[in-house]
């Protein structure tokens, strides 16, 4: 049974295509062949080709393994790290609890 690629919106496909191009350029800048990168990442040559083409069906673990070959795996931590909209929504929904006034102890 073959894995089917998920259906993605054209905007998302453009992002994946750009990511694939960035991976390809990182490989070429380091003057590594596709076979070398695939072997070091522990993926098939065809999987690396699909990554470089921006195929939506490639698992995220394969992307990280390929980025590890280039020393770029820590860049993955930058994804959604500074979620401004999410923080604004969280802050807008914050409700401060009202504390009861302190009681004065009468002797």
Contact 48, 38 (CB under 8 A): yes
Provide CB contacts within 8 A for 32, sequence distance 6+: 69
Is position 73 within any domain?
yes
Q: What's the CA gap between 68 and 38, in Å, rounded?
A: 11
Q: Alpha-carbon distance 2 to 105, whole Å?
A: 75
Range of the domain at 62: 10-92
**Percent of residues, the chain, with pLDDT higher than 70:** 92
Report the CATH number that the domain containing residue 40 is assigned in CATH: 1.10.260.40
CA-closest candidate to residue 48, choices 71, 67, 30: 67
Listed range (1-10, 18-27, 33-42, 49-58) with the worst mean pLDDT = 1-10
Domain count along the chain: 1
Assess if residue 24 is contained within a domain. yes
Say which range, 7-16, 26-35, 56-65, 77-86, has the weakest mean pLDDT: 77-86
Q: Are 36 and 45 in contact (CB under 8 A)?
A: no
105 falls within a domain:
no
- Kindly state whether residue 107 falls inside one of the protein's structural domains: no
Residue 68 included in any domain: yes
Is 5 a domain residue? no
pLDDT per position as a tens digit, 56-80: 999 999 999 999 999 999 988 888 7
At residue 99, the pLDDT reads 75
């Amino acid at each position: 049974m073959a894995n089917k690629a998920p259906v993605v919106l054209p905007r998302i496909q453009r992002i994946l295509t750009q990511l694939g191009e960035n991976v390809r350029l990182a490989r070429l800048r380091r003057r590594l062949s596709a076979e070398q990168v695939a072997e070091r990442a522990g993926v098939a040559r065809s999987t690396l080709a699909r990554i470089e083409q921006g195929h939506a069906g490639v698992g995220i673990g394969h992307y990280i393994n390929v980025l590890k070959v280039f020393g770029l795996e820590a860049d993955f931590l930058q994804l959604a790290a500074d979620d401004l909209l999410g923080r604004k929504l969280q802050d807008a929904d914050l409700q401060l609890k009202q504390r009861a006034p302190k009681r004065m102890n009468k002797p």
